[in-house]
Amino acid sequence: MAWLILTLSGLMEAVWATALGKSEGFSRLGPSLVFVAGLGASMAGLAYAMRDLPVGTAYAVWVGIGAVLTIVYAMATGSEAASPLKILFLTLIVASVIGLKLAH
């Protein structure tokens, strides 16, 4: 259960990070509210997962999932350019997250 919650928490990290960028310095209400809700959900999920998982592993997986999903969303929407090297390195992050899960 901790791994599922951690994965969803990583997804919420991507939500709040994207919303933070779209909030334009908290000057737009909608994205600012999504940021606050996403941040709260993400931190709560991370805290829950850390009850059963080592702190270092949980944090690394959380950051990895959030970073990859944030960049993939930005590439999919055209706000960040995709390149073969970026895709390679994102794949390596995903492989590392899977490796941490398998090593646990």
Q: What is the DSSP string of the chain?
A: -HHHHHHHHHHHHHHHHHHHHHTTTTTSHHHHHHHHHHHHHHHHHHHHHTTTS-HHHHHHHHHHHHHHHHHHHHHHHTSS---HHHHHHHHHHHHHHHHHHHH-
| pTM of the predicted model as reported, rounded to 2 decimal places | 0.91
Please count the structural domains in the chain.
1
CA atoms within 13 A on the CB side of 79: 9
Give the residue-averaged pLDDT of 78-85.
96
Distance CA 46, CA 58 (A): 7
pLDDT grade, residue 104 (50/70/90)? confident
Q: Domain span at residue 6?
A: 2-103
CA–centroid distance for 63 within its chain: 6
Q: Percentage of residues in the chain with pLDDT exceeding 70?
A: 100
pLDDT tens for each residue of 11-55: 999 999 999 999 999 999 999 999 999 999 999 999 999 999 999
Nearest Cα neighbor of 11 from 37, 42, 33 is: 42
